[in-house]
Chains A and B, each alone.
Chain A
Amino acid sequence: MAAIRQAIAVTWLNILNIRKRIAASLVAVIGVAAVVLVFAAVLSMAKGFERTMTSAGSEDTAIIIRSGSTAELNSGLSNEQVLIVANAPGVLKDGDQPVTSAELYVIVDIRKKSTNADANVPIRGVQSNAMEVRQNVQIAEGRMFEAGRNEIVVGRAAQQEFAGLELGANIKFGQSVWTIVGVFTANGSVSESELWTDVRVLQGAYRRGNSFQSVRAKLESKDSLQVLKDALDKDPRIDVDVMSEQEYYSTQAQPLSQFIRLIGYPLTVLMAIGAVFGALNSMYSSVSVRTKEIATLRALGFGPFAVLVSTIIESTILALTGGALGGAIAYLVFNGFRVSTLNGASFSQVVFDFAVTPDLLVQGLIAATIIGLIGGFFPAIRAARLPVAQALREV
């Protein structure tokens, strides 16, 4: 007990006179802050991207693409195949009509505002049930397109990122001119990066005849996925992959988010090593500046344990202060920062916001604590082992 009381007293003393060593302490704090800032900023990219991708997928909607095609863009389904899917067991029916949307997913070059260069913007041809098979898609401005006309509704995120997509504007691709008649929101999901139009019109414009690329089917319940899968697997007329929309989107998100993590974590580790050197430097100098003080304390009867613990605690407090600072800056600067990038898995642009989530901040603070403990440990040992008589004589 006495040792702990001593440790607390010495720690308190250290904290009180920290401003005598303010420069070295600040360097340690800022070093750790930079680590946490970079960590949170890089990983918030992966978090935001994943959130955008996965919030689009629901468990009770199935997506059906041609077997072996890794994404909608690569897939192809004939009208007959689409009808077989729509009438398969497990698909929810509204009256006697299946709740499905057969869709075409293509790409059009549109200028990205931030880079002023053409980007692969996805344009999706949908059927009238498009809103029914998806959750949370709503027209926020204007109106839905009319079937059979060259009209487009644009996702809110796409409208903000890409040029010339204002409500009422005309855009030309190929030989046809399209009018933007509405803007939709989709709860920040990947759908908001897309442009939608009537699938029949899009088939004509892209000369796709009567073919589609995917079918989205509302399921009777999420357990019906297996029923639908089994039925379509057995059907010799058709060779398709069936998965829940959630599964589909997490597969689409995986390569890019994995890549960001692959960069982000080693980057953080390297920077953290740099910060440990900074913290060590600062604590060694703190110990050497306090040589007289530590020796006096020891002469007064304070044990080596109290000196050891107090040095480690001081270092940890400095590191945590830095961690909190870095986390706060990351949150203020990067949270909600909107970017658009090419998702290799779908070969099209995805607009997403950086997300500095609580778990990232917690991980950042854990990293800071580790840096603080390591940075304090070795100097603490030196402080505890200080030969008292010699140290006092030196002064």
Chain B
Amino acid sequence: MKYFGLLWKNVWRKKVRTLLTILSVFVAFLLYALLNGIGYAFNVGADVANAERLIVIDKISLINPVPVSYMNRIASTPGVAAVTHASWFGGYYQDQRNQFAQFPTDPYAYFAMYPELNIPKEQLDAFASTRTGAVVGHELAEQFGWKIGDRIPIQATIWTKADGGRTWEFELVGIFSSSDPRGSSAFMLMHYDYFDEARAFGKGTVGWYVLRVNKGADPVEIANTIDAGFANSPNETETSTEAAFAASFAKQFGNIALIVQLILGAVFFTLLLVAGNTMAQSIRERISEIAVMKTLGFGDRSVLLVILSESILIMMIGGILGLAAGWFFIQGLSVEMGAFLPGIFLSPNALIFGMAFIVIVGVLAGIFPAVKAMRLTIVEALARA
């Protein structure tokens, strides 16, 4: 730390050059933060998924419905603490571009299953007692400017009503949010009973079941028991933990992560070159100065450390500012795009890795000039200058 003054002077000896380097580092780490935050949405909440919750779907495909009559059999499976169900509604609000998730379900059971979803008690009671009621996540309420008491028409893409209509009107009776910052609540919940009675076809089925196992029970064993119970029936099931289900669904998008990594690789490679070149240039110009430092009694190690620290310092200024700007952007994006791409989130892990990258790139960029400077002999350096 006693060399900080020297360091600071060295960093700014060529203001424009240092500023340009810092700006390119800033851009690189801004990109890193943005790509990580958006990439997170493609992991479909796999990190948030709860290991004590299981999802039961039709074995052939998620799109096939399962009979509502399975409810009791699943509930009576040993080790199952609670069970509820949901279905895919697949509607949009006003314009086809305003698509978001809607799930007809059982109000009390659903919120009991997902304790991370917070809703005021009286709003939940109102939801349970209002047949055509609906509740939405706060992201959607903000996006579309909805308030409690609004009547919200949802255009169905799948479920025509028994009377032939395609517009379902719901009364907004509550707004919920997720207490987990990584989780999204950008969806709408309605009454399954109303939905099932009013739809023209598909009656008596649900999209999937969600269940919670007793503490200490083996989720895998319970999953196997459930699937075995429905084997050789017209609707075979596939039960998996919520985490496995989310991870498997995330993989449907293909190698998004790989593509993001390739891009980041290209960015960091370029960054390293720019920074490395700046450091090399700056050392070349300073050879006589280094000789003087050594003459004054600076050891080889001190010279090495001073130059390395200079490189790391430049990276830190640009990198930390870049990560911070990225963090602010991601906060904004996750609100702006929350309804359409839920789950944009910059994880603490990504930030920690980002900090590590800053140091690594700083060391890599500075190491060759620093070693070169360390090896300079005083006589040679003074002669060259």
Q: Which of B155, B251, B277 contacts A68 (CB 8 A)?
A: B155
Q: Using an 8 Å CB-CB cutoff, how does the interface string of B227-268 with A read, 1 for contact, 0 for none? A: 000001010100000000001100111111001001100110
**A282 — which chain B residues lie within 8 A by C-beta?**
277
Q: Which of A24, A173, A274, A280 contacts B270 (CB 8 A)?
A: A274
Task: Count residues of chain A with CB under 8 A from any CB of chain B.
Answer: 59
Tell me, rounded to whole Å, the shortest Cβ–Cβ distance linking A368 to chain B. 14
Q: Using an 8 Å CB-CB cutoff, how does the interface string of B70-113 with A read, 1 for contact, 0 for none? A: 00000000000000000000101000100000000000000000
Q: Is the CB of A74 within 8 A of B270?
A: no
Q: Is the CB of A34 within 8 A of B236?
A: no
Is A305 at the interface (CB under 8 A from chain B)?
A: no
Q: Is the CB of A34 within 8 A of B21?
A: no
**B267 — which chain A residues lie within 8 A by C-beta?**
34, 38, 271, 274
Is A106 at the interface (CB under 8 A from chain B)?
A: yes
Tell me, rounded to whole Å, the shortest Cβ–Cβ distance linking A211 to chain B. 9
Q: Using an 8 Å CB-CB cutoff, how does the interface string of B55-79 with A read, 1 for contact, 0 for none? A: 0000111111000000000000000
Q: Which of B38, B247, B280, B341 contacts A23 (CB 8 A)?
A: B280
Q: Which of B17, B64, B236, B259 contacts A206 (CB 8 A)?
A: B64
Q: Is the CB of B31 within 8 A of A267?
A: yes
Q: Is the CB of A31 within 8 A of B63?
A: no
Known contacts A74-B90, A115-B251; A274 and B24 CB within 8 A of each other: yes
Residue of chain A at shortest CB distance from B254:
A341
Q: Is the CB of A30 within 8 A of B30?
A: no
Q: Is the CB of A107 within 8 A of B63?
A: yes
Tell me, rounded to whole Å, the shortest Cβ–Cβ distance linking B237 to chain A. 12
**A280 — which chain B residues lie within 8 A by C-beta?**
20
Q: Using an 8 Å CB-CB cutoff, how does the interface string of A182-226 with B read, 1 for contact, 0 for none? A: 000000000000000000000000110000000000000000000
Is A302 at the interface (CB under 8 A from chain B)?
A: no
Tell me, rounded to whole Å, the shortest Cβ–Cβ distance linking B338 to chain A. 15
- Give chain B interface residues in 172-207, CB to chain A under 8 Å: 201
Q: How far is the CA of A285 from the CA of B232 in the complex (A)?
A: 76
Residue of chain B at shortest CB distance from A342:
B252
Q: Is the CB of B255 within 8 A of A115?
A: yes
Please tell me which stretch of A2-10, A116-124, A132-140 contacts chain B, meaning at least 4 of its Cβ atoms lie within 8 angstroms of it: A116-124
Q: Is the CB of A31 within 8 A of B60?
A: no
Q: How far is the CA of A45 from the CA of B251 in the complex (A)?
A: 18
Q: How far is the CA of A174 from the CA of B166 in the complex (A)?
A: 31
Q: Is the CB of A281 within 8 A of B21?
A: yes
Residue of chain B at shortest CB distance from A258:
B97
Is B156 at the interface (CB under 8 A from chain A)?
A: yes
**A69 — which chain B residues lie within 8 A by C-beta?**
157-158
Known contacts A30-B273, A106-B61, A281-B17; A270 and B251 CB within 8 A of each other: no
Known contacts A239-B164, A273-B27, A278-B270; A114 and B254 CB within 8 A of each other: yes
Is B28 at the interface (CB under 8 A from chain A)?
A: yes
Residue of chain A at shortest CB distance from B65:
A207
**B60 — which chain A residues lie within 8 A by C-beta?**
108-109, 173-174, 206
Q: How far is the CA of A257 from the CA of B3 in the complex (A)?
A: 53
Residue of chain A at shortest CB distance from B22:
A277
Q: Is the CB of A207 within 8 A of B234?
A: yes
Q: Is the CB of A277 within 8 A of B21?
A: yes
Q: Is the CB of B248 within 8 A of A117?
A: yes
Main secondary structure of the interface of B (DSSP, over half): helix
Q: Using an 8 Å CB-CB cutoff, how does the interface string of B194-222 with A read, 1 for contact, 0 for none? A: 00000001000000000000000000000
Q: How far is the CA of A243 from the CA of B201 in the complex (A)?
A: 25
**A68 — which chain B residues lie within 8 A by C-beta?**
155-157, 160, 166
Q: How far is the CA of A340 from the CA of B258 in the complex (A)?
A: 13
Is B370 at the interface (CB under 8 A from chain A)?
A: no
Q: Is the CB of B277 within 8 A of A277?
A: no
Centre residue among B24, B255, B341 by max chain A CB count within 10 A: B24
**B278 — which chain A residues lie within 8 A by C-beta?**
281
Tell me, rounded to whole Å, the shortest Cβ–Cβ distance linking A209 to chain B. 10
Q: How far is the CA of A26 from the CA of B20 in the complex (A)?
A: 17
- Give chain B interface residues in 109-151, CB to chain A under 8 Å: none
**B341 — which chain A residues lie within 8 A by C-beta?**
259
Known contacts A114-B254, A274-B24, A339-B254; A107 and B166 CB within 8 A of each other: no
Q: Is the CB of A120 within 8 A of B62?
A: yes
Is A357 at the interface (CB under 8 A from chain B)?
A: no
Is A112 at the interface (CB under 8 A from chain B)?
A: yes
Q: Which of B21, B23, B251, B273 contacts A119 (CB 8 A)?
A: B251
Tell me, rounded to whole Å, the shortest Cβ–Cβ distance linking A236 to chain B. 11
Is A41 at the interface (CB under 8 A from chain B)?
A: yes
**B35 — which chain A residues lie within 8 A by C-beta?**
267
Is A86 at the interface (CB under 8 A from chain B)?
A: no
Is A263 at the interface (CB under 8 A from chain B)?
A: yes
Residue of chain A at shortest CB distance from B238:
A109
Tell me, rounded to whole Å, the shortest Cβ–Cβ distance linking A113 to chain B. 11
**B259 — which chain A residues lie within 8 A by C-beta?**
41-42, 45
Tell me, rounded to whole Å, the shortest Cβ–Cβ distance linking A30 to chain B. 6
**B34 — which chain A residues lie within 8 A by C-beta?**
270
Is A331 at the interface (CB under 8 A from chain B)?
A: no
Residue of chain B at shortest CB distance from A32:
B270
**B31 — which chain A residues lie within 8 A by C-beta?**
267, 270-271, 274
Centre residue among B20, B30, B278 by max chain A CB count within 10 A: B20
Q: How far is the CA of A267 from the CA of B251 in the complex (A)?
A: 24
Q: Is the CB of A108 within 8 A of B274?
A: no
Q: Is the CB of B252 within 8 A of A24?
A: no
Known contacts A120-B252, A267-B263, A281-B20; A24 and B277 CB within 8 A of each other: yes
Q: How far is the CA of A349 from the CA of B251 in the complex (A)?
A: 11
Q: Is the CB of A274 within 8 A of B254?
A: no
Is A363 at the interface (CB under 8 A from chain B)?
A: no
**A118 — which chain B residues lie within 8 A by C-beta?**
248
Q: Is the CB of A34 within 8 A of B266?
A: yes
Q: Which of B30, B156, B266, B280 contacts A270 (CB 8 A)?
A: B30
Q: How far is the CA of A67 from the CA of B160 in the complex (A)?
A: 10
Is B352 at the interface (CB under 8 A from chain A)?
A: no
Is B224 at the interface (CB under 8 A from chain A)?
A: no
Q: Is the CB of A27 within 8 A of B157?
A: no
Other A-B contacts than A67-B166, A274-B28, 17 sampled, CB-CB below 8 A, are: A23-B277, A24-B281, A27-B273, A34-B269, A68-B156, A69-B157, A76-B201, A109-B62, A112-B252, A114-B254, A120-B62, A173-B60, A270-B31, A274-B274, A275-B270, A278-B20, A282-B277
Residue pairs across A and B with Cβ atoms less than 8 A apart, 15 shown, are A24-B277, A30-B273, A31-B270, A37-B266, A42-B259, A42-B263, A114-B255, A117-B251, A174-B236, A273-B27, A277-B24, A278-B20, A284-B16, A284-B20, A340-B254
- Top 8 nearest A-B pairs by Cβ distance? A274-B27, A117-B251, A342-B252, A115-B251, A277-B24, A34-B270, A341-B254, A277-B20
